[in-house]
Structure 1
Amino acid sequence: MKQIYLQSYYLRRLLASDPGRKRLNQAGKATISLISAVFASTLLLNMFGHPPLLPSIIAGICGLMGIMIVMDDTKEKKQVTTLLLPLSAAVGVTVGSLLADYVILVSAWMVTIIFCGFYFSRFGSRYFSLGMIGFFTSYFSSFLKLSPDQFPWFYLTILIGVSFAFFYNFVLFKDSVQLLKRSMNSFHRQANLTFQLLIEIIQDTKTSDSRRKKLDYNVRKLREYANNVSTDLNAQDIRELWPGLGTQQLRLYVFDTAMFVMTMSESLQKLKNDDALEMKELRTLLVKVIYTLQQAEVLNPDYREKNLVEAEKVIKSLREMIDNLFKERSSQPEGWLYLVRRVEAIATHVTEGALEIQGSIHKLPSPMETIDEADVEEEKEKDKGMKPTTKKAIQSVIAGTIAVIVGYGISPIQPYWVLLTTFIVQLGTETVGRTYLKGLERSIGTVIGAVLGFGLAKLVSGQLQLEVILLFSFIFLAFYLLPVSYTIMSLFITMLIAFMYDLMLGGITFELLGARVIDTIAGAAIALGVAAVIYPTKTMDKVSQIFTDYLEELESYVTDYVRSFREPSDIKALADRAFQLDAKIQEIEEESKPLLQGPGVRKYSGLPRWITIFTAINYYAKHLVASAYQKNFTYPEEVSDVFLRVEAKFSHNIQVLTTMIEEEEVIGELYDLYPEREQVERHAPGHNDGEGDLVHHLYYVWKINQSLLVLGKRMGLNERK
């Protein structure tokens, strides 16, 4: 984690942004592929004396889509899908052109493609990718009304476009390994940046609100980076980059590092409020712990071992100091002592994990490491009624039919723009709320983009080179900013369309661009209307389902943790599941946006409180793994039966809450765990050398259950002992 960037905070913030440079990598590849396909096709067609503009546009579309729409889960599958794209694109060009004069037939053809794309996606994303490129080539060829003698040139440019996409995706830029390496580098940069802020706050006598907000922001970013890295990890890439290192090993190290930063951030203000940092020795040791971890180059084969050795020494000194303070204040230890103990425990994990990683690098993996169970994950789909893909397919047929009719009513010359918008808004929108939000964002982006695009296109009209440069820039910015803001992406796409109209039609009018704005709003409205009427999935139903999924996963997670005190198990393996819980929380936040930002926000005024409770539960749950790993536990018989009661009561509470969320009625009551906690704290041994601290380990189990009780109280449930 060595800090090698000595520049300003904002420069380091920039260097740490876009973890793994995923957005830059994807948008850059797509843009380069498009540019290469366009220029190669133009050069080739000019050599044969054929008009290059329209075939080159198709080549560019294929080069772009060959990067953006291939979403299979393995490299091999992606390669096969990419090689199949020219066939689907050629069929789209052929059928779209031959049916261009038959309104009903070409409309039925495009609606059929959309239906098949959604319906057959249940068998894999490949079918959806093939459907997308088939739809877009059908759309453009029906608009251009190509003659059969032009087909060979378009087939050739399709091959050129897809060939460049294949080259950039699988030959020049080998995504997987490079992406993992960049992701880890981004994670370390963000960790070091946050470490530096922690050091500055410890050293300051007073913490300003601006610095506190800056720290909170960077802690949240580190959490996002940790989740990004965890999704990029796979055994094959890890062995190629760091021979001998296991997937679970690296994932646990990432988890512990993020938890150390989070725990330090949460603890500092409390320590300052309790005047704990007035103790010079404690302040010095905390700074040294952070600094030594900051200097460690964990994944560098030529690392300097003394940094981690020094970290071990500093942490040992901190542990001894904490033990002495507990002995001195054994009658009534202050609460901040427990916070410092947790910081020390997690810092120990980070250091031990880093040393273990260094000891593993360049060693041959064991047979168990070669086949990493974390990389083989079965997803079991719950078939309750009609499959989501079937629902979406039926919705697409109805919405597509309406869109064609409306499109002809608005603009008989170019009737399919409404259909195009309807199709795009339906992509990735399972619920009514998500459809509404995406349609609104697209409409707003289109309106703003139309005004800016019209003005800019008029300003630079006739300057071909400048127009082409701006056109490619818009493409890059649109896809680079897509994960950040769909509205901004729509803005740049609309500006791109304005420039394409100017190039293809030799000029652009505000009426023409205005018609496209009306088409876009109409398409978004049709997608929303159909989603709300035909097999609707209400946003709150979806959010409730994620809540119950989270609770079910939490039950297994916590009970496995508690069971480990009476049955030997590998607690470190829970780190993988902690990342899954984190992903569920992010999914809840994402799916809740339409409810919190839409017109019905007052109706769901209690939802933010629910999200806060689940976020707190998730924070406590991650601390279970971040606690000192269980070992050397001894406890009297009075404590041994506590674990079974905790498991039973906790499972009962989860089942009651899950049933209430699903059935929306008050059923049963919840157990508190006060008797079990009291029994543990009365009889469990204390924190001594070589002896596990049971009170410390179970602390966050009580906190999780207390949060469940708060949730139950809001739902009208009673508590019982």
Structure 2
Amino acid sequence: MRHLQHRLNPTHLWDLFVISDPDLGRLRKGLRAALSAGLAALILSRLARLLGEPPTVTMVGTMVAMMGSQLATDPEPREQRLTTALLVVPALTSAVLGTLAAQIPLLGAAAFAVTIFVSTFVRRFGPRGLALGMIGFFSFFNALFFHAQLSQVPALAGAMVIAVGIAYTVRFVLVPDRPDHVLRRTVRAFRKTIDVVLWELADIPEQPRMTCALLRRLLRQADRLSDAALAVEDLVSRGHSDLRQRLFELELAANRVLRSVQQVVDSGALSPGARADLRQALVSARVAIRDRDPAAAQAMRAYLDRVLEAPGDERGRVDAQRIHRALTDLLEAAERLPREHAPLAPEQAAAPTDKAAPGPLARTGLHPSTRQAIQVTVASVIAMAVGYAVSAERWYWAVITAFVIFTRTRSRGDTLQRAWARVLGTVLGVLAGLLLAGAVSGHAGIELVSIFVCVFFGFYLIQISYAWMVFWFTTLLSVLYGLLGRFTPELLWLRIEETMIGAAAGAIIALILFPERTTAQIQTSARQVLDAVCEYLEEAVVKRTPETEPARLLDSARVLDARLRDLRAAAQPLTGGLRHFTPRATHTLRTVSELVLSVRHLEMGRGLMEMNDASRELLREAAERLANNARVMASALGQEATPHVEPASTLIQEARHRLAPEEAARRGTASPFRLLHWLTRVDDMLTQLASTERQPPRVLVPWRA
């Protein structure tokens, strides 16, 4: 009960809400979708009435306007505007082609299959190819879905032009990106992330032992810190070098607090009273950082002093000293973070890159987009045939499912996960739709509002979970059919059947036709991480001099973070129940993640400059050996040959013995002792990765400090 009350604290919940959408990007997506759909429905319905056109034209145009406001994800604003303007070409072409082809069922099915192949094939041209392909597919689909007729082709063409114009206006005029506000909001969200992490940690010191559930909580907090820091890093340039440096220091300090708290629970050496004081110290630290409150900072130090003075054995004193240093460093790093930041220039407001873009596929020799185009087309044809056997009127629901579950996926695990999300969202959406449609039936105004509310939440939540988007759009469909006078429960149950047919077809094809194993993707991403580890070790230690440019080291560190983020994305299908069936891949993920965390704590090699010449040269040699070991492991992952790495522990120990007393006693981010500690951890992780590559352990290695 105490834990539940702790997690449901209103301030904590508000912080979680803020950091879930740091730059308000999700809010803008929801607003753009709802506003585009609303404006298109209003304008096109009035024009349709004036011209005597049926509602089909309005429906198709509304869907294109809604989708068109979302699809441009190019990295530069200018490219986004061009991509959005170009949407009119595939939208117009596909809508007209779909209307013409649908008059002859067999020809319509063949044309749909060709459209599916082309729409997927053009993804090789990057974000613009993905956007144009998606709008082409959905325009063809909407022409089928709303039963467009030949007589409506001129009106459909006009509707496409108007719809894309509305999407462009909403995206870049009515609800534009605001680069002058983005950085301030994102840095604010990073500070709140520190608040959230400290609040989540507060009840952990009093736990009797470190369970798997607690380890997962700590790992989630570490990932949360990394994601929040990368969100800022994605925005800023070298012109914000001071801000980048302060954020990096603050992130590392928070990670040290995470590890220190884990160590307290692992060892169990602190007394219950000392653990209670540590809990209060964490709460006070959160208030001090959140409100810049000197009184809270003083209270934190008082509680930490009590922890240090508590009776206990040598292990307890070490734990107390470690958490004391970690929290003190965190508070000092937070105080150094500047309050104001120079705003971003408009050209710096870049859209996020497509993190799920397929990687190279060396085994078949096919380009990823070609491989996926074949998979999607075959799955769609199967879904088309089986779906038609179930319903000659609604078979395209099966086809759209088979198409979309391959979108932004790069392995069979991704596709299976997306297929499950589609089915789950559809089933729950049907249940919600039955309730909502029954509640608002007969109230046209409420039905219209409900439709646009569903549109908003569908796009607002899509980045959290694809299943949520499917849920809201299935609910929307229920209300829409009620508004059109076609609603029946049987129709919604048919949607579930057709969705399951499409999901099954896509899943089966992903497993048997040009399958790309999730473990292979993990290994590819892990190799890239190890390459980045090698580069960082060389930059931060081997080649480190007093003249080394800090921005260059930060760039190298953030490349490391980004590669780890890609690895986590590749491994996402295996982070749930499937992890028990893939012990090697799961162990690789855990060990490489731990390796990255250790490398980042080298503090860009600053401790190296505080050493005597003999120790410095020994550490350079040790780091060079570690970099070579990382290179060897990158080549060996997934191969049959056993990797051979040469431990650097002897060199590190010799460097430690040659430290002068004043060097060994120095503390802070430039501490030689800290550098030695984390190089030892890097050595341990590389040795462990090499020793278990051929025979993964039955029990996963815990996240240790």
Q: For this structure pair, what is the TM-score category when the shorter chain's length is used for normalisation?
A: 0.7 to 0.9
Q: Is 1:714 the equivalent of 2:692?
A: yes
Aligned-partner residue type, residue 117 of structure 1: S
What corresponds to 2:622 in structure 1?
Answer: 646
**Is the 2:541–2:604 Cα contact (8 Å) retained in structure 1?**
no
Q: Is 1:457 the equivalent of 2:437?
A: yes
Q: Is 1:658 the equivalent of 2:634?
A: yes
Identity of aligned residues (%): 22
Partner Cα distance (1:253, 1:335) in 2: 26
Q: Is 1:253 the equivalent of 2:256?
A: no
Q: 1:489 deviation in Å?
A: 2.4
Provide Cα deviations, 1:82-134, integer angstroms capped at 9, x if missing partner: 11122322212211111212223322322222222222222222122122222
CA-based RMSD of the aligned residues comes to 4.4
Q: 1:352 deviation in Å?
A: 4.8
Partner Cα distance (1:689, 1:543) in 2: 40
**Is the 1:613–1:711 Cα contact (8 Å) retained in structure 2?**
yes
**Is the 1:259–1:626 Cα contact (8 Å) retained in structure 2?**
no
Provide Cα deviations, 1:280-312, integer angstroms capped at 9, x if missing partner: 99999999987665445xxxxxxxxxx99x99x
Provide Cα deviations, 1:603-651, integer angstroms capped at 9, x if missing partner: 3245444333223222212212377x357534143x3541343134213
Aligned-partner residue type, residue 680 of structure 1: A
Provide Cα deviations, 1:656-681, integer angstroms capped at 9, x if missing partner: 323332313424x3222221122111
Which of 519, 522, 526 lines up with 2:498 in the alignment?
A: 519
What corresponds to 1:678 in structure 2?
Answer: 653
Helix, strand or coil at the partner of 1:233:
coil
Aligned-partner residue type, residue 612 of structure 2: Y
**Is the 1:96–1:141 Cα contact (8 Å) retained in structure 2?**
yes
Which of 496, 512, 520 lines up with 2:476 in the alignment?
A: 496
Q: 1:136 deviation in Å?
A: 1.6
Partner Cα distance (1:653, 1:191) in 2: 34
Partner Cα distance (1:376, 1:123) in 2: 14
Q: 1:703 deviation in Å?
A: 0.5
Partner Cα distance (1:701, 1:605) in 2: 27
Provide Cα deviations, 1:321-348, integer angstroms capped at 9, x if missing partner: 9xxx9xxxxxxx9465466456555655
Distance 1:270 1:666, change over 3 A: closer
Partner Cα distance (2:274, 2:574) in 1: 46
Q: 1:510 deviation in Å?
A: 3.0
Which of 243, 247, 257 lines up with 1:264 in the alignment?
A: 257
Partner Cα distance (1:446, 1:481) in 2: 15
Helix, strand or coil at the partner of 2:581:
coil
Provide Cα deviations, 1:483-506, integer angstroms capped at 9, x if missing partner: 2222232222222222223333x2
Distance 1:580 1:314, change over 3 A: farther
**Is the 1:222–1:258 Cα contact (8 Å) retained in structure 2?**
no
Partner Cα distance (2:444, 2:593) in 1: 53
What corresponds to 1:300 in structure 2?
Answer: none
Partner Cα distance (2:240, 2:529) in 1: 24
Provide Cα deviations, 1:666-713, integer angstroms capped at 9, x if missing partner: 24x322222112211111232567996423223211101112222222
What corresponds to 2:672 in structure 1?
Answer: 694
Distance 1:216 1:712, change over 3 A: closer
**Is the 1:425–1:439 Cα contact (8 Å) retained in structure 2?**
yes
Q: What TM-score do you get using the length of structure 2 for normalisation?
A: 0.81
**Is the 1:34–1:63 Cα contact (8 Å) retained in structure 2?**
yes
Which of 88, 98, 101 lines up with 2:100 in the alignment?
A: 98
What corresponds to 2:526 in structure 1?
Answer: 547
**Is the 1:41–1:52 Cα contact (8 Å) retained in structure 2?**
no
Q: After TM superposition, list the pairs within 5 Å mapping 1:295-444 onto structure 2.
A: 295=291, 334=318, 337=321, 340-341=324-325, 351-352=335-336, 354=338, 384=362, 385-444=365-424
Q: 1:220 deviation in Å?
A: 4.4
Partner Cα distance (1:606, 1:680) in 2: 34
Partner Cα distance (2:428, 2:83) in 1: 36
Q: 1:197 deviation in Å?
A: 7.2
What corresponds to 1:574 in structure 2?
Answer: 553
My pick for the range that moved more, 26-35 or 112-121, is: 112-121
**Is the 1:445–1:491 Cα contact (8 Å) retained in structure 2?**
yes
Count of residue correspondences: 665
**Is the 2:195–2:286 Cα contact (8 Å) retained in structure 1?**
no
Provide Cα deviations, 1:221-266, integer angstroms capped at 9, x if missing partner: 751552452354144xxxxxxxxx8233333322222222222243
Helix, strand or coil at the partner of 2:405:
helix
Helix, strand or coil at the partner of 1:68:
coil
Aligned-partner residue type, residue 618 of structure 1: V
What corresponds to 2:539 in structure 1?
Answer: 560
**Is the 1:119–1:392 Cα contact (8 Å) retained in structure 2?**
yes
**Structure 2 unaligned spans of 5+:** 1-8, 310-316, 697-705
Distance 1:681 1:346, change over 3 A: farther
What corresponds to 2:69 in structure 1?
Answer: 67
